[in-house]
Structure 1
């Protein structure tokens, strides 16, 4: 996918304790139209000082660093959220690194790029491709272009000052009038789609919903290793059952099932009110797990499914939501001001398949009502 660069260069601070990696990232960013490296730092304390002094638009941040690690950097700059830059984590892709990266997302980082894993050494070409994609995501937030590719050929969207808060960049116009959902009995399954911003948003949605009287299945765009860490972190944060789904797993009420990264998941009806998950790694879907596949299977298999579309770029979930809406099933979407990226909710709203547009906590409460959860 080709992204239109921002009209004015966005400034980037490179933070990594490896001089080689700093030079490599500096080259990648410098060769990407629309971005300019404003500085670099080799440890966390120097990073905090550079962020406060240079006020970059974007920071690429390592986790494992001397003096102060990446988590410490995020905690140090978080109190000044109104002037904080957007942070993209660029870190080792290990089991421990996955847990720390999810912590970083909870502290305000918007996305992440693996620079190595437990199974392969650093691949700078892959790092470059991923980083350019994440820079485009950050640019979408900073310039208000929350659906990329979005601007016309002139690409004249103004660059946002780093002093503004990301939430202020979303469209000021209210969303389209919601599509009314018919009154029905309690939902028998809840399906949720999320991407960039999802790990930060899911706890807010799930807290008032869980434990849910119906099974909950989440398609979060995430690499394979991170899905298990995401399930563990959500379980610890919420105090409810959250598991990484397995092929053939019977879906349990009161449990949140996170689809594994890299796998698509389909709902299968075993008998009335009882469902299982079928996982597959094939298919041509850009995102795996794919929300359209999950939603369509819910529309085919469940009697009263309900769905929610959370923060993320693109339109995954819209076609699956259409299948649900055609059956009269409720589809909810996240509000623009509460989403890191409003692309996925907006695409579904524009398609006329959304019943209600709510902030995360209210969305969770509405899902709880739809499933018949006692107040």
Structure 2
């Protein structure tokens, strides 16, 4: 039985969430809190398997409640956030503090899609209830500890890694990431610093969230992090977060000039899609490095396969034991595509090495 604690200051939303789950016999609502402080107290008393957390609440907001719960009585927390710019920034911060997932809801009760949100919520509740034992990893993020610590203490099976011939410095980095991204990506960027080439990130997110995510990363790292726009020219040092709810593709109209276009792929089941991004990058004339990090499913694996077939380049995979969810990196690793398995900080350091500023070849001249 999954023990659920609902935290929302709206009586309507508390009733709505209860209605969403009450027909499922494996889910039991054990408590309802209307302030963040009540949620902290009830989490300590009831020890639920999962908590749904509203962003804006009186007395104590969802951010502070998440921080206190993850510090004292760690539990998977799913944020429910309205599709607004302000709430998206707050949700990103909550995910960085230890919340494991979020569900975007429309701001108007009249518009609330109970059926769609309910199906999404039940799926996430069941998934995260099973993953409760991974909270030792989640706590390392909230305590600002290295995600590598958990990985070093975990047994590692022998892995088959590809070898890559010596190549020029990379001219482009493409990165796919999903659940756990907001807590993990800052570690990569801080250890990476400014690259000598552009980076494009496909972070699974709905519209309205990626702009706030880019702004948050820019503030946290001091790097040039921006949300993608149509026909954006990719320049060295840029870190482009693909706009939520759509896909992006890389094009090279003439040698050395990389452009980014927004194009939703109807065949992709999640957006922004890493496979779509990776496949498009395979056509670039420069060396390309692919990175696959924490997330559910296998997005990025097929795109990395195309990249390897066409360019035989580096594919960096996050150490599964350091992931919030290890589906994406594990699928890439099991496909035999990875050239290295690294912690988030190590990925950043490796990228700074692989993407060192490219220098023009020198030619000897003879004096007659």
Deviates more, 1:326-335 or 1:339-348: 326-335
What is the deviation of 1:283? 1.9
Q: TM-score, normalised by structure 2?
A: 0.88
1:133 to 115, 123, 137: 123
Answering whether residue 95 of structure 2 is matched by residue 105 of structure 1, we say: yes
Q: Distance in 1 between matches of 2:28 and 2:356?
A: 52
1:331 to 288, 310, 315: 315
Residue 333 of structure 2 corresponds to which residue in structure 1? 349
Residue 358 of structure 1: aligned partner: 342
Instruction: Note the C-alpha offset of 1:373.
Output: 5.6
Q: Is the 8 A contact 1:93 1:118 kept in 2?
A: no
Give runs of aligned pairs for residues 1-375 of structure 1, distance below 5 A.
9-80=1-72, 83-117=73-107, 121-142=111-132, 172-174=155-157, 176-326=159-309, 327-372=311-356
2:169 match: secondary structure: coil
Shift of 1:299: 1.1
The answer on whether the counterparts of 2:98 and 2:138 sit within 8 Å (CA) in structure 1 is no
Pick closer, same or farther for the CA change 1:295–1:259 going to 2, 3 Å. same
Task: Report the equivalent of 1:157.
Answer: none
Deviations along 1:185-210, one digit per CA (max 9) or x if unpaired, are 10000000001011111111111223
Q: What TM-score results when the alignment is normalised by the length of structure 1?
A: 0.87
CA distance in 2, matches of 1:261, 1:32: 31
Shift of 1:323: 1.3
Are residues 137 and 284 of structure 1, via their aligned partners in 2, closer, same or farther at CA, if it must alter by over 3 Å? same
| Number of matched pairs | 346
Residue 155 of structure 1 aligns with which residue? none
Q: Could you say if the C-alpha distance between residues 140 and 222 of structure 1 is closer, same or farther in structure 2, counting changes exceeding 3 Å?
A: farther
Residue 215 of structure 1: how far off its partner (Å): 0.3
Question: Does structure 1 retain, via aligned residues, the 8 Å contact 2:319–2:342?
Answer: yes
Gaps in structure 2 of 5+ consecutive residues:
140-149, 359-368
Where structure 1 has 5 or more consecutive residues not aligned to the other structure, the ranges are: 1-8, 145-161
Give the whole-Å Cα distance in 2 for the aligned partners of 1:333 and 1:30: 40
CA RMSD, 1 decimal = 2.3
Q: 3-state SS of the aligned residue for 1:300?
A: coil
CA contact (8 A) 2:75 2:132 kept: no
Q: 1:130 to 1:175 in 2, by over 3 A?
A: farther
Give, in whole Å, the separation in 2 of the partners of 1:302 and 1:233: 32
Distance 1:41 1:333, change over 3 A: same
Q: Is the 8 A contact 1:175 1:349 kept in 2?
A: no
Cα displacement (A) at 1:118: 7.2
SS at match of 1:117: coil
Q: Confirm or deny: 8 A CA contact 2:92 2:182 kept in the other structure.
A: yes
Which secondary structure does the structure 2 equivalent of 1:38 belong to?
strand
Is the CA contact 1:141–1:166 (under 8 Å) kept in the aligned structure 2? no
Are the aligned partners of 1:137 and 1:313 in contact in 2 as well (CA < 8 Å)?
no
